[in-house]
């Protein structure tokens, strides 16, 4: 549940819609044992996060970077005039090594000073191509590159949602078979044709007709991904 929650947070941060599939979700677990549990539950995680692949990473630096900063109010009280020296030395250190030490709760030696974890502030930054969320030792990162193929699949899922909404508006029974009509621009038309089997199966449509609807159909004018679209449904007799 925590992994799914962090994944949803990462999707939201990158403004990727829930119905838009992503290529990959990468998870840095707290222990190798938890990594094995995640792999065994990969199908459930992928379904929850609408992702194509799960990658369990040993080194979270694959998917997140760290901005390391001195905790100035704390260090100033402790070290006074030595603060400038500590800041300079800390800035020259490998941020991955610093973050790893601090997050393990260990002290860090900076020049001749032994800094406690509370002396250092860590700010997580997304690695290129990912949006991430970190909490309680877990990091979950979602791939943010949406290929044309993934975009088409996301659009197909959105079309399904719109048709399902029309079914409800028309007060159809869940088991009713329907015929659906659509009048749309090139992108929506192409996706309906490419994903026709999927859309028909999800909406119980026996036909997807690329034409204006008859007068007895339930009709709705909509905008989908910037395209004006006419959608209509009618229960089969």
Output phi, psi for 18, to 5 deg: -60, -40
Which residues are bridge partners to 64 per DSSP? 126
Of 233, 6, 226, the C-alpha closest to 131 is 6
- Answer yes or no: is pLDDT of 65 > 80: yes
Q: Which two tokens stand for residue 154?
A: 């996301």
* 58 band by pLDDT with thresholds 50, 70 and 90: confident
CA 180 to chain CA centroid, Å, is: 31
- Answer yes or no: is pLDDT of 68 > 80: yes
Question: What is residue 222's predicted lDDT score, i.e. its pLDDT?
Answer: 95
Q: What is the pTM of this model?
A: 0.78
Give the model confidence (pLDDT) of 150-194 as tens digits.
999 999 999 999 999 999 999 999 999 999 999 999 999 999 999
Contact 42, 93 (CB under 8 A): no
Non-local (6+) Cβ contacts of 215 within 8 A are none
| Continuous H helices in 15-108 | 32-40, 42-49, 72-79, 83-91, 95-103
Question: What is residue 135's predicted lDDT score, i.e. its pLDDT?
Answer: 85
Distance CA 134, CA 170 (A): 44
């Amino acid at each position: 549940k925590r992994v799914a929650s962090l994944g949803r947070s990462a999707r939201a941060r990158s403004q990727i819609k829930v119905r838009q599939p992503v290529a990959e979700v990468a998870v840095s677990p707290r222990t190798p044992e938890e990594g094995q549990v995640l792999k065994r539950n990969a199908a459930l995680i992928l379904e929850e996060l609408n992702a194509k692949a799960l990658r369990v990473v040993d080194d979270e630096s694959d998917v997140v970077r760290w901005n390391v900063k001195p905790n100035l109010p704390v260090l100033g009280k402790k070290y006074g005039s030595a603060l400038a020296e500590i800041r300079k030395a800390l800035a020259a250190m490998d941020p991955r090594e610093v973050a790893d030490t601090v997050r393990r709760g260990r002290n860090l030696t900076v020049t001749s000073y032994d800094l406690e974890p509370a002396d250092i502030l860590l700010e997580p930054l997304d690695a290129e191509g990912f949006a991430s969320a970190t909490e309680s030792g877990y990091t979950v990162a979602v791939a943010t590159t949406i290929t044309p193929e993934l975009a088409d699949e996301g659009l197909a899922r959105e079309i399904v949602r719109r048709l399902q909404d029309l079914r409800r508006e028309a007060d159809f029974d869940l088991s009713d078979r329907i015929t659906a009509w659509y009048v749309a621009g090139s992108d929506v038309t192409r996706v309906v044709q490419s994903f026709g089997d999927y859309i028909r199966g999800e909406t119980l449509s026996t036909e997807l007709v690329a034409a204006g609807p008859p007068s007895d159909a339930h009709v709705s004018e909509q905008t989908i991904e910037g395209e004006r679209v006419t959608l209509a449904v009618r229960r089969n007799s």
